[in-house]
Structure 1
Amino acid sequence: HGSEARARILKFEGDEVIIEFEGSFCATCGLYDYFDDIKWEARDLGLELEPVEVLEAEEDDFEHGRYVVRYRLGRKPILAMGGKD
């Protein structure tokens, strides 16, 4: 969502990923659409993420907020080692 909201990974352990969202969220787009969009971006990297729970939510009066969301990781990427047989 470009300059509207930013996401950053706070924790990645086992099958759990914690992602923080912060910014000016478009109220007409639907807040949870931002959380769902990350799973589509992850698919491009070979990952399956599913939002499970909003752990923290802070909002002000003008569509700005900070949200911490827990995701479940389905499939992990397979990394190939170059030059190894």
Structure 2
Amino acid sequence: MALDKKYFFTLKSIEYYNRFRSPEAEARLLEYRGDGTIVVEFKGSFCHTCGIRDWVEDLAYVMKSLGGDAVLEEYIEPEGEEDYKRVGVFKVTRTPEGDPGEW
């Protein structure tokens, strides 16, 4: 079975995101679609003066810093939820060059 590079890259990017942003924000993959669309939940205390949306958008910047690319397509503030949870729907458009084991 072939490795899905976008899925693997998503997991690596979330791991990297959490390493540097937790506990203020922690990302968790909720859904992966074969076309590279990912649904990610963000929970944490966030830094409200920075803007909560920025914490979600940061995942796309992490992916760029790792040599890939993603676009935030939808930003969701779940109804009835506290201020400590957001959901981002991203489209992974590019993965880093080379073997995923080298990322």
Larger radius of gyration: 1
Partner of 2:72: 51
Contact 2:46 2:84 in 1 (8 A): yes
Give me the identity figure in percent.
33
Change (3 A) 1:81 1:2: closer
TM-score with structure 2 length normalisation? 0.63
Which structure has more strand as a fraction of its residues?
1
CA distance in 2, matches of 1:73, 1:57: 23
Shift of residue 56, structure 1, vs aligned partner? 4.7
- Listed as ranges, the matches of 1:1-80 within 5 Å are 1-13=21-33, 14-57=35-78, 59-60=81-82, 64-80=83-99
| Structure 1 segments (4+ residues) deviating >4 Å | none
Change (3 A) 1:27 1:78: same
Residue ranges of structure 2 left out of the alignment (5+ in a row)? 1-20
CA distance in 1, matches of 2:25, 2:53: 12
Contact 1:52 1:70 in 2 (8 A): yes
Which structure has more helix as a fraction of its residues?
2
Contact 1:57 1:65 in 2 (8 A): no
Contact 2:53 2:75 in 1 (8 A): no
Code of the residue aligned with 1:46 in structure 2: it is G
Cα RMSD (Å): 2.3
Partner of 2:10: none
